[in-house]
Structure 1
Amino acid sequence: MTDQTASVWLVTGCSSGLGLALATKLARETGHRAVITGLKAAEVEHIAQVAPDRIKATELDITDRNSVAAVIEFTVKAFGRLDVLVNNAGVGQIGAIEELDDGEIARVMNVNLFGTLNMLRAAVPQMRQQRSGRILTLTSMGGFRGRPGVGIYNASKFALEGVHEALAGEVGPLGIDVTMVEPGLFKSSFRGGGMHIAKTIIEDYAGTAGKVRASVAEDYPASAADPTQIAAAILAVGEMAGKPPLRLQLGTDAVAATREKLESMTREVAKWEAVANLASEGGEGSLDTYRSAIAAVTG
């Protein structure tokens, strides 16, 4: 890899899990230049020492806009540009919607949604000035499919999917690509410090959120992907020539879950299409008309 083909990367959340795997691959298996980040620089400095001329370690709190601005400035000052941003930093939360308090909900939203928005709003101006760049954000399958017990995590990731779908349309004409990375289950630090459990437990949710809560204490199943696989895929998409996908599912479980949801939605749209189309008819809506249409669907 030459200076002409090497690009400048900025990766968030590199102290463990997928971020650690990605930072390690950047240092050991590519010629790219990169800024790798953790809440404390010391958490990622050992990776930078593998290739200190190409890899720089620094601290970053994505919920702090001053910290975010500083890391963008650091990247551009170190390498002159920013080609690829990987939004990997995030937190998890287990608990039924009713079980979670305001603080638990705010924590997830502040990191996953608002923290990622901080990164986007700080990085896009640099990429826009360059008229080039690539953004890869980990929205996970949790951003496409909601499941009992992780509803607030889903909410933060669903919001990111909406943001990135719109962003792709806004910045695409300016030479900036956007990809939402949607891995299935893979071995990560989320079953350690990254996943928080609701302080309040309501027994009525034992069969739904409670099952998810219990699963966190178990080992990952054999089918769970290794984070190095996810990291390799992200690297390959980040450096590929041509237009990358808007969404990229990673893992057979992610592909199966996506197809299952799309097929379910297609069936439901078809079933209720006659009721839905009534809203486009002129005149004042008739309750009896809707009642009749619903009765025709439900039998």
Structure 2
Amino acid sequence: MATWFVTGASRGIGAEIARAALAEGNDVVVGVRNPERVPADLKNSDKVFAVALDVTDNNSIPQAVEAAVDRFGGIDVLVNNAGRGLMGALEEITEAEARSLFDLNVFGLINVTRAVLPVMREQGSGKLVHIGSRSGFEGEPGVSLYSASKFAVAGISEALSAEMAPFGIQSMVVEPGVFRTDFLDSSSLSVAATRIAAYDNTPAHVTLDWIGKANHAQLGDPVKAGALIVEVATGDRLPTHLYLGRDTLDRLEVKLRQVQEDLAPWREKSAATAHDDAA
């Protein structure tokens, strides 16, 4: 059995991943800001170890990783799940709001991964599972900065797939659509403090107004999502991307068509930008 380390595991998909990993007999480290908020079913298992972890606090990260290794002897699967959303038109979002989002969704992921990699390199094996988003391959109105953070996650994960291969370490980004968690609650989703009336009845604010209708009525089942992520991560070879949810699959088809439509009329002239003497 393996040792899993899951950040942001007190609720939502993170908690379901922890439950699914535990159900398969694995040891599970749950990294949470407040260990008292770990669900009772996880807290009461002797195979679950809760560590205090704020991924935006560089001092807490090495302590949490060291505690996990001391308890279970290593880390086989790291799940970078901690994150939150931010909605609003780009013009409405302040620099402070944007930086706060990136501190959690991007730099938190970078710093936790950086702390775990020496453990995995010494083992000669490991799997990195980064929770991205459907918004990580398709920029959507009203979530431009959130999309930017998840595009970054996808890029980091793809690069790690190549960088870490010589060490026996694999990397995968999971790109879920909308799942029925509390992600659209104020505890997980921030809305730009400024609202510019000019954007009313435009795509940016249509997306913003969608929250109330969609919250806790999302298509995806987080229990099934957690089980599939664990199933995939338990296999011998991770896919580079795990596209998760019917809506993600639908939007991926749209994205692929868009790539082809953008490419076709300019392919020859794009290729012709090479030097004339290029082979």
**TM-score, shorter chain, exceeding 0.5:** yes
| Counterpart position of 2:232 | 237
Contact kept, 8 Å, 2:29 with 2:49, in 1: the verdict is: yes
Aligned-pair identity in percent equals 35
| Counterpart position of 1:168 | 161
Q: Are positions 1:68 and 2:61 aligned together? A: yes
Which whole-Å CA distance do the structure 1 matches of 2:133 and 2:90 have between them? 20
**Residue segments in structure 1 that go unaligned for 5+ positions in a row:** 1-5, 284-299
Deviates more, 1:201-210 or 1:8-17: 201-210
Q: Deviations over 1:24-65 (max 9, x none)?
A: 3334x221001112111101162433312x111121101112
| Counterpart position of 1:292 | none
- 1:263 paired residue among 257, 266, 270: 257
Aligned length: 275
Deviates more, 1:268-277 or 1:35-44: 268-277
Contact kept, 8 Å, 1:128 with 1:176, in 2: the verdict is: yes
Q: Are positions 1:21 and 2:20 aligned together? A: no
Displacement after TM superposition at 1:221 (Å): 7.7
The one-letter amino acid of 2:246's match is T
So what's the TM-score if we normalise by structure 2?
Answer: 0.94
Q: 1:254 to 1:219 in 2, by over 3 A?
A: closer
Q: 1:234 to 1:97 in 2, by over 3 A?
A: same
Which whole-Å CA distance do the structure 2 matches of 1:142 and 1:68 have between them? 27
Q: 1:78 to 1:146 in 2, by over 3 A?
A: same
Q: Deviations over 1:56-83 (max 9, x none)?
A: 1121101112211111101110000110
**Residue segments in structure 2 that go unaligned for 5+ positions in a row:** none
Q: Deviations over 1:215-240 (max 9, x none)?
A: 11224486611111110111111212
| Counterpart position of 1:297 | none
1:195-206 to 2 correspondence within 5 Å? Answer: 195-206=189-200
Q: Deviations over 1:136-193 (max 9, x none)?
A: 0011111111000000001111111111111110101211111110111111222111
Contact kept, 8 Å, 1:45 with 1:57, in 2: the verdict is: no
Work out which of the two has the higher radius of gyration on C-alpha atoms and give 1 or 2.
1
So what's the TM-score if we normalise by structure 1?
Answer: 0.88
| Counterpart position of 2:93 | 100
Which whole-Å CA distance do the structure 2 matches of 1:219 and 1:251 have between them? 15
Q: 1:81 to 1:149 in 2, by over 3 A?
A: same
Which whole-Å CA distance do the structure 2 matches of 1:275 and 1:12 have between them? 46
- 1:84 paired residue among 62, 74, 77: 77
Which whole-Å CA distance do the structure 1 matches of 2:2 and 2:158 have between them? 24
The one-letter amino acid of 2:266's match is W
Contact kept, 8 Å, 1:184 with 1:254, in 2: the verdict is: yes
Give the root-mean-square deviation of aligned CA atoms.
Answer: 1.6
Which whole-Å CA distance do the structure 2 matches of 1:267 and 1:221 have between them? 35
